[in-house]
Amino acid sequence: MRHAAPDRDRPDPSAPPSPTRLAFFLAYLQVGLSGFGGANAWMRRVIVEERGWLTEQEFAEYLGVSQILPGPNALNCAVMIGDRFHGTVGAVLALLGILGGPLVPLLGIAGIYAQFGSEPMVAATLKGLAAAAAGMTIGTALKISTRLRPGLALTAVGVCAFVGIGLLRLPLLAVVLALTPLGILAAWWSAPWRGSVQ
Amino acid sequence: MTGGTLALLIQLTLVFAPLSLAAIGGAIAVLPEIQRQVVEIHGWVTADSFMDLFALAQAAPGPNMMVVSLIGWQVAGVVGLLVATIAMVGPPALLALALGRLRARFAGLSWVRVTQAGLIPIALGLNLASGVVLAQAAHQGVTTLVLTLGTTLFVWLTRWSPLWTLAVGAVAGMAAS
């Protein structure tokens, strides 16, 4: 399917060309294989920072939209980005890469764990890895936030989402439903300001 | 394929496909319900091995929802793994495809732009919250705290690959044991 909408975030012709199917699949294989502690952080790293196929703003928009859909966010993101570049084939390639890549190491680790899981050293190694992976998730969210410079109103909505889920542990659905209108209001409030900057 | 296996595969599908559509905010959101279904209702794995499988899926590369793949694998081998994964991924993927195309078609409309922009801070706040929840789960004293904070700053402020800090995390965890 062709997207009729103009590519508003990337008007300049010097923008990098769309990836080939192979390059796209390999990128998602890399996301899947390196995706310790959550694939979103790695997807941003590979697609925005390393390959430059999407801008920070474009990626954040996919992240935002995938948030209101059910299912794993990273996979929703992958499907939409795949569709953008290569239609349905791209969506399938993204899923195959991001899920198929880690399958072999995952089963290998599961096998090792079944054998040596009771060793304290294995458990301690996993804990160290998990602690670093948590830092990676936090660091990526902070990095996107500081790069987008969202302004006071949008920042306040983001802080509310963080406090509601991360600190108060409120039900997720309620928080998302309550904050979505506020987020839209905040975006509307900041829209003229954003327009004048561009 | 025996009748028993086929019945198991159908059960796997019936458990995970509806849950996949309830998982607003990611697979972690329905984790308690997955545990209830898999451990308490169907008795496919014990409560302890459920936690182990979850820790593995988190420690291994790949999306965290792959705990579902591991459960399928435990229940019915490689076929179970494929069936459980497809049941968990398929329905939301189709929705994402549809919404992505609607979004692309109407991207020029100002209310679509504003809606999208309004969802971004919520997504970032939720991601930040996930990180903090994961950090609390992994917390085991000063070593893990330093690892989490160090990785946060490293990823936030540098452009180097986070694989370095993950390797440091694994080695430091091992050394601290």
User: What gap in Å lies between CA A57 and CA A63, rounded to an integer?
Assistant: 10
Mean pLDDT of chain B: 85
pLDDT in tens, A32-54: 888 766 688 889 999 999 999 99
**Is there a contact between A74 and B63 (Cβ–Cβ < 8 Å)?**
yes
pTM over 0.90: no
Does the distance separating the beta carbons of A75 and B96 come in below 8 Å?
yes
User: What gap in Å lies between CA A112 and CA A108, rounded to an integer?
Assistant: 6
Domain ranges of chain B: 1-105
- A26 or B4, which is more confident: A26
**Is there a contact between A135 and B152 (Cβ–Cβ < 8 Å)?**
yes
pLDDT in tens, B131-146: 888 788 778 889 889 9
pLDDT in tens, B16-25: 998 888 776 6
pLDDT tier for residue B113 given thresholds of 50, 70 and 90? confident
- Does B121 contact A at CB distance below 8 Å? yes
ipTM: 0.79
Residue A140 predicted with pLDDT over 80? yes
Residues of chain B contacting A146 with CB distance shorter than 8 Å: 156
Q: Chain B closest CA to A85's CA: distance in Å?
A: 12
Q: What count of other Cβ atoms lies within 10 Å of the Cβ of residue B146?
A: 14
Between positions 30 and 89 of A, the ones with CB within 8 A of B are 32-42, 45, 49, 60-61, 63-77, 79-80, 83-84, 88
DSSP string for B107-154: TTSHHHHHHHHHHHHHHHHHHHHHHHHHHHHH--SHHHHHHHHHHHHH
Does the distance separating the beta carbons of B53 and A127 come in below 8 Å?
no
Which residues sit opposite A70 in a β-bridge?
B24
Partner residue opposite A128 with nearest CB, options B63, B97, B169: B169
Mean pLDDT of chain A: 83
Instruction: Look at residue A37 in the predicted model and tell me its pLDDT.
Output: 61
Residue A61 predicted with pLDDT over 50? yes
Residue in chain B lying closest to A127 (CA): B138
Instruction: Look at residue A5 in the predicted model and tell me its pLDDT.
Output: 45
pLDDT tier for residue A125 given thresholds of 50, 70 and 90? confident
pLDDT in tens, B64-83: 788 899 899 888 988 999 99
